[in-house]
Structure 1
Amino acid sequence: MRGPVYAVTSGLLAALASLCGKYAMATTEAMDLCETTLVLMYSDEDSVPHKQITAICDQYSVFLRLFFFVLMVGVNCLMWTTFTKALRFSTTSLEATITNTAANFFFTAILGQVLFGEVVTSLWWMGTVFIICGLLLMHHASNVPPRKPGTRPKTH
């Protein structure tokens, strides 16, 4: 049971690392986050002019992006640590990989919808299902016991 828990956790961490990467590499995303945070912080007090908020975010955008870059690297390190544990505690490496991949896709879709307003279409979900089905087929094929040379496969 520990293997799947570690695999789901590593999938979540992979999605969070991607989120940090998006904030680190996309200037507009980092600026939007900064402006939204400042607006929420000062909503109870006298309203701060939007120009002032934009100026503050412009001034600190490099530091914010650098922070998210360092966070991305750190979360990736945690993700690989938990994925390694998932490999150790799973019955097969493919089981850990399938669970990790499914969790990563799921959490990425949720984070994209909630934080960025991205639309995850049915075509995207269908592609995700096909990828996971392909991994499951690989897992099933790896669990088939090998035949002895010269014997025929059993037919039912």
Structure 2
Amino acid sequence: MSTSTPQSIPQSSTSPWIILAITSGAFAALNGVFAKLTTDNHTTAFAQSLAHLFGLDSSPVIEMLTRGACLGLNVLCNVIMWALFTRALTAGPSTVKVSITNTASNFLATALLGMIVFQEAVGGLWWLGAAMMGAGCILVGMREGA
């Protein structure tokens, strides 16, 4: 009688849960951008630009429609973020690793989107703090095991 040993299945270099967690963090950052655009002054200027582009008079209705679209995109990004996050939790090796990856992705995407969309200055102290939080997350993740 021969004993068969289970054969290892080659895995891709990137696990699916990592992609899901990173994408979830990015959608969380987009959620924040659209939430801010729902109430921010940038939206007024954007609505006026849209009205001008389509040859319309700048009116409060155009601005309210633009803000409504931002609110809808806010809700949509939130729904997508939670769907991806729960899939990552299901596929991931631990909730801690998924949460750490999601949070790191969210921090980085939030900083980049803030600089790009709102021209916010992200200083060295912020990056130092983010790096320290990231290092702490890595240490916690290492305690969870491989």
Q: Percent of pairs identical after alignment?
A: 29
Could you tell me whether the CA contact under 8 Å between 1:13 and 1:78 is conserved in 2?
Answer: yes
Shift of 1:143: 3.0
Aligned pairs (5 A) from 1:53-64: 56-64=58-66
Instruction: Between 89-98 and 133-142, report the one with greater CA deviation.
Output: 133-142
Distance 2:131 2:59 in 1: 40
Question: Does residue 14 of structure 1 match 2:28?
Answer: yes
TM-score, with normalisation over the residues of structure 1?
0.75
Shift of 1:69: 1.2
Could you tell me whether the CA contact under 8 Å between 1:7 and 1:83 is conserved in 2?
Answer: yes
Q: Which residue of 2 aligns with 1:141?
A: 143
* Residues 111-154 of structure 1: CA deviation (Å, up to 9, x unaligned): 1111111111111111111112222222223339xxxxxxxxxx
Shift of 1:10: 0.3
Unaligned runs of 5+ in 2: 1-14
* Residues 42-94 of structure 1: CA deviation (Å, up to 9, x unaligned): 6xxxxx7xxxx7x5153322222122112211110110000111111111111
Q: Which residue of 2 aligns with 1:153?
A: none
Unaligned runs of 5+ in 1: 43-47, 145-156
Distance 2:103 2:49 in 1: 31
Question: Does residue 130 of structure 1 match 2:132?
Answer: yes
Q: How many residues get paired?
A: 132
Aligned pairs (5 A) from 1:55-94: 56-94=58-96
Distance 1:69 1:117 in 2: 21
Distance 2:104 2:70 in 1: 25
Could you tell me whether the CA contact under 8 Å between 1:22 and 1:29 is conserved in 2?
Answer: no
Q: Give the number of the structure whose alpha-carbon radius of gyration is greater.
A: 1
What's the C-alpha RMSD, in Å, of the aligned pairs? 2.0
Shift of 1:25: 2.2
Q: Which residue of 2 aligns with 1:4?
A: 18
Aligned pairs (5 A) from 1:33-72: 33-38=46-51, 41=53, 56-72=58-74
